[in-house]
Amino acid sequence: MSGLYIGLMSGTSLDGADGVLVDFSNTKLRVLAGSTQAFSNEFRAELLALNTPSHNELHRAALAALQLAEVYAQVVSALLQSSKLAAKDIKAIGAHGQTVRHQPALGYTTQLNNSALLAERTGIDVVADFRSRDVAAGGQGAPVVPAFHESVFGQSDRTVLVLNIGGISNLSVLPVAGAVLGFDCGPGNALMDAWCYQHTGQRFDGDGNWAASGQLIPELLSSLLDEPYLAAPPPKSTGRDLFSLDWLASKLQVFSAHRAEDVQNTLTEFTARACITGASSYLNHSTELIVCGGGAFNRFLMQRLQAGLPALHVVSSDVHGLPPLQVEAAAFAWLARQTTLRLPGNLPSVTGAAGLRILGAVHHA
């Protein structure tokens, strides 16, 4: 059986699709190639709009799923070209899809994708819809990456904390003994990126420089931190259903004039505090916080994390041999492998599901 899998990830940051080609033939995984395809401004705007009820959304969602599958296919083609491999060499593709609704309390989660079209375009088996099986078993359906984090970053002599900062931030707690834990801390880049784009036209705040130029608004920070989700115990997961620009607007309306850069500074601090609060309960026997996702490139955010967690060494996943933008894509390659081997991909200790489940639905090439 081939040990080569492709993982595809497009997260709540809505910046594009990341893909990796991973070799699982040996004990330690090896990334053979990586590729990223940015979303156009128009496609990004449509995906963002589909996060809230709107006119003719079923039709528009179907068209967006088709377009996403085409983007995914382009990423797969680039991976095969750069690695000089053929479709027949790849066992399966793990494709996350684009989350537009996440309501596990109501029994569903929705990731846009057309995996049948992706299988048709690539000639490779596609595993998709990873979250629904866990939700059907009473779980949150997210995060699904802690089991992968354990396989890559886990240590036998100390507890390791892994923080993924995509659009939403999620923490994995990898103990020396006992069950792996994990949950969504709260917003990651979603609010910072949305505010930045709204006021500067830039998709993200490079290095956090714009935020660093502003001043903290203490009253706004307090209002943001009052969100009940942050105090809720795990298992828990969230998304743009909660942390949206409308949610932010409801917080801002009680304040008088404010500079946009001051709000950005405060949103960065809010993101950091949500992550710090999540990590603070698991500091025993921990020496390091490994950060992945786009947030690992926000120097100001990384500084705020380090300031709030002085007992830990806050480092990029790059230090451990896996670049920040490849971690989640690699996780879905791993999850696809779990599915093809008929092995569970979820962790009940993380999601609250009734038990271990084989995740994903397969479209054969």
Q: What pLDDT digit, counting tens, does each position of 121-151 carry?
A: 999 999 999 999 999 999 999 999 999 999 9
CA distance 136 to 143: 15
pLDDT (mean) for 188-192: 96
Superfamily of structural domain 4-139+332-363: ATPase, nucleotide binding domain (3.30.420.40)
Task: Dihedral sign for Cα 67, 69, 70, 74, please.
Answer: positive
Alpha-carbon distances of 278 from 6, 117, 181, 283, 328, rounded to whole Å:
31, 39, 11, 10, 20
Closest CA to 344 of 353, 332, 356, 355: 356
- CA dihedral for 260, 264, 269, 273, sign (positive or negative): positive
Closest-CA residue to 30 (of 100, 88, 83): 83
pLDDT digits (tens, 9 = 90+) for 39-59: 999 999 999 999 999 999 999
pTM over 0.85, yes/no = yes
Q: What pLDDT is attached to residue 112?
A: 97
Query: Above 90 in pLDDT, residue 11?
Result: no
Mean pLDDT of 309-316: 97
Asked whether this chain's domains 4-139+332-363 and 146-324 adopt the same fold, the reply is: yes
Q: Give the whole-angstrom CA distance, residue 273 versus residue 304.
A: 8
Domain chopping of the chain, boundaries: 4-139+332-363, 146-324
What is the architecture of the domain spanning 146-324?
2-Layer Sandwich (3.30)
Name the pairing type of β-strands 98-103 and 108-112. antiparallel
